[in-house]
Amino acid sequence: MKPRHLLSIAIPVLLAATGCQHEPFRPIGGKGGNATLMIYPQHHGNAVNLDSMMVFIKYDALDAPANGRYDDSATCTRTGSIVSCSFSGLWNGNYYLYARGYDHNVSQAVQGGIKYTVVVQQTINLMLPVSERH
């Protein structure tokens, strides 16, 4: 092969190998996957006296939304002394969860929020602590 032909092959190969860098993949939280978050609100470590609990979720976020708009919500149900709700069909990624309701033991509204990152496509049990509103 002539040296000129080698150069015409070598230069595009070198440019292709070194000239293009991509951003690393970052999973974006949202609907479409197979993960489920099972949410268990708790006040002082239990849920016995919790009532009217609602949980809100913000996709691809680690903080509460500044505008107060969440992407979805779920009403918690009671089974014995356990209060829970779930969000299913989630991708790997970041989520912010916020709960609000009422605690009959202290006769006050309660609320709380946590951030969570889904890293596996499975059911994940998550305790969400709430406290008195101030």
pLDDT digits (tens, 9 = 90+) for 2-14: 555 555 665 665 5
Say what the pLDDT of residue 80 is.
Answer: 92
Count of beta carbons in the 10 Å neighbourhood of residue 125: 11
Long-range residue pairs from 114-118, CB within 8 A, at least 24 positions apart, any chain? 115/61, 115/62, 115/63, 116/37, 117/29, 117/62, 117/92, 117/93, 118/29, 118/33, 118/35, 118/37, 118/90, 118/91, 118/92, 118/93
Query: What CATH number belongs to 31-132?
Result: 2.60.40.10
Environment class of 43 (CB within 10 Å of its CB; exposed 0-12, middle 13-18, buried 19+): buried
d(CA 73, CA 75): 7
Provide mean pLDDT across the span 66-95. Answer: 97
25's tokens? 């993949």
pLDDT in tens, 29-68: 999 999 999 999 999 998 989 999 999 999 999 999 999 9
pTM of the predicted model over 0.85: no
Which sequence spans correspond to the domains of the chain?
31-132
Q: According to the model, what pLDDT value does residue 59 have?
A: 98
